[in-house]
Amino acid sequence: MLNLVIFGAPGSGKGTQSEILIEQYGLDHISTGDILRGEIKAGSELGKAAKGYIDAGQLVPDGLIIDMIEKVLGERKPKKGIILDGFPRTVAQAEALDALFAKLGTRVHAVLDLQVEEAELIDRLLKRGQESGRSDDNLETIQKRLGVYHAQTAPIAAHYAQQGVHHAIQGSGAISDITARIARVLDTLA
Ligand code: AMP
């Protein structure tokens, strides 16, 4: 099993790099943002509960997210491993994930922390908003999400550094160069 967390601020390239890693390493992809957007589209109870938080640039409460992840992990039964994208986003979620993985007899093997300058993040997200029409990719919500990232999500890096699995990756430049930096880290795990 190879369990990876792709980590970083909104717009740091988590989704883009995940797509490449899934192909290269045969991993299952779990993106909590994608799952939540699917739930909203489907009009489910979870979708209804999550929509207000997402549109306001806030995090969906830990309890809802942890229940959702537990269910998805149980359903998917990944063979080679998984890449978690957009989860965990709080230290409480990271601790819940550790416990969940321990129950399954596995762990997080590496956290790939994509580091990108704030101005570039805003630029990328505004562009994505124009192309995809994602409701939370507007300047006001982007700034709120970046604030939430610094306050609630960034502290997770220290949690994983303590476990010796945190890796900082320079996340700007060509997509293929960033993938190569990630591959160098993954090579050290083999
Ligand atoms: P993303 O697609 O990962 O940028 O997520 C979009 C939005 O979904 C976030 O701004 C949050 O409102 C919500 N979300 C996604 N993942 C999580 C999570 N792990 N914990 C709380 N909220 C989340």
- Going by C-alpha positions, the residue among 165, 61, 55 that lies closest to residue 108 is 165
The pLDDT of residue 21: 95
Give, as one character, the DSSP assignment of residue 30: E
Q: What residue's CA is closest to ligand 1, atom 12?
A: 54
How confident is the model at residue 146, as a pLDDT? 98
Ligand 1 atom with the shortest distance to the CA of 57: 10
Q: Is 124 in the active site?
A: no
Task: Note if 107 is an active site residue.
Answer: no
Contact 40, 54 (CB under 8 A): yes
What is this structure's pTM?
A: 0.95
**Nearest alpha carbon, ligand 1 atom 11:** 59
Which residue ranges form the domains of the chain, and what is each CATH number?
2-184 (3.40.50.300)
Name the residue at shortest CA distance from atom 14 of ligand 1: 33
Q: pLDDT 10s digit of each residue in the chain, 190 long?
A: 899 999 999 999 999 999 999 999 999 999 999 999 999 999 999 999 999 999 999 999 999 999 999 999 989 888 899 999 999 999 999 999 999 999 999 999 999 999 999 999 999 999 999 998 888 999 999 999 999 999 999 999 999 999 999 999 999 999 999 999 999 999 999 7
Sheet holding 4-8, edge to edge: 28-31, 82-85, 4-8, 110-115, 166-170
Q: What is the DSSP letter of 158?
A: H
157 with 113: CB under 8 angstroms?
A: yes
pLDDT at site 133? 87
Find, among 5, 2, 9, the residue nearest to 154 by Cα: 9
Among the atoms of ligand 1, which is closest to the Cα of residue 88? 19
- Give pLDDT, residue 159: 97
